[in-house]
Amino acid sequence: MRKIAVLLSFALFALLPACQKQELYKDNRVMMGTYVEVTSPSKDAAGIVFAEFERIENLLSKYKPESEVSKLNALGRLKVSPETFYVIKKAKEFWQATEGAFDITVGPLVDIWGFTDKKYSLPAEAKIKDALRLVGSDKIILHDKDNVVEFMLSGMRIDLGAVAKGYALDCSVNKLKREGISSCLINAGGQVYCMGDKSGVPWKIAMQDPRGKDFSGYLELKDKSASTSGDYEQYFIQKDKRFSHILNPKTGYPADSGIISATVIAPSGLTADALSTAIFVLGKIKGMALAKRFPDVEAKIIEEK
């Protein structure tokens, strides 16, 4: 299910003066477990974006056995590429900045709740306790000198599902810039990047109502990313309770902060991605306080009624 829908407003397009009308090229592909859609006046944009997403997926996806993340998870210590090192280092910084709400070492928890293989189940208390022992980004050792990442405990596993898409968006935008392209909208499931504008006006994005089919509002963005983390994308219901894929690394249970959707708007896709996940765990008050500490970051939170 797509959380942020892109408004393909032909009405809006028709309102533009004739001199501003520009043909837009559109293409889409399923990548990083989501539907990636690219809209741009440049016919080369989509190919560039897809190539960057593929490159990042091959480094960071835990679902690709040959990725650096999969190898690191299997071995517990690995010399990685500068890019993978950078993303893990940034993730650890977000762990620190969010007092542990954002934590890529949730891998074993994601597995036992069945969110990795989509065979959802409520794990036994003892299993959660066992997995929690392996959680905590303080147990990731980063050797800056030679890009070696090391886990302190065997069995630890990282999951970059909350940050890889945002990073892939940043990489795509940088690559597009290097290729001389200045206008592009990338919609990657729960996260968009609006690069430049659309024939002189900001890109217009419709936000989906988390509990309905309608839109809950619109965003007009230029050179910004918007990322939404919600409890309605991957979840299961048991005993009338909703268990979603974003886990509280302190309790080992799915986050239960009263938030049903957290949208973060930021100039960096990676920042928007990490903060939307963290805010979903922290709840409205702590989440808003967190967003305020970052320059040019705006958060929109919808709570359970």
Residues of the shown chain interacting with ligand AMP in the complex, contacts defined by CB under 6 A: 102-104, 106, 110, 115, 159, 161-162, 190, 229, 245-247, 249, 273, 276-277, 281
Using rule CB under 5 A, residue 172 touches Mg ion = no
Using rule CB under 5 A, residue 42 touches Mg ion = no
Question: Nearer to ligand AMP by C-beta: 68 or 273?
Answer: 273
Answer for which of 87, 162, 184, 194 binds Mg ion (CB under 5 A) is 162
Question: Nearer to ligand AMP by C-beta: 108 or 196?
Answer: 108
- Closest contact distance (angstroms) between CB of 302 and ligand AMP is 14
109, 124 contact by CB (below 8 A): no
Q: Please tell me the distance from the alpha carbon of residue 170 to that of residue 179, in angstroms, as a whole number.
A: 14
Selection from ligand AMP, Mg ion, none that 102 binds (CB < 5 to 8 A by kind) is: ligand AMP
Selection from Mg ion, ligand AMP, none that 113 binds (CB < 5 to 8 A by kind) is: none
Using rule CB under 5 A, residue 68 touches Mg ion = no
- Closest contact distance (angstroms) between CB of 62 and ligand AMP is 8
Selection from ligand AMP, Mg ion, none that 246 binds (CB < 5 to 8 A by kind) is: ligand AMP
Question: Nearer to Mg ion by C-beta: 162 or 185?
Answer: 162
Selection from ligand AMP, Mg ion, none that 161 binds (CB < 5 to 8 A by kind) is: ligand AMP
Subset of 273-292 contacting Mg ion (CB under 5 A): 273, 276-277
Selection from Mg ion, ligand AMP, none that 68 binds (CB < 5 to 8 A by kind) is: none
Structure token pair of residue 189: 């499931």
Residue 18 CB partners (closer than 8 Å, separation 6+): none
Question: Nearer to ligand AMP by C-beta: 69 or 78?
Answer: 69
Question: Nearer to ligand AMP by C-beta: 198 or 245?
Answer: 245
Contact residues toward Mg ion (CB under 5 A) are 162, 273, 276-277
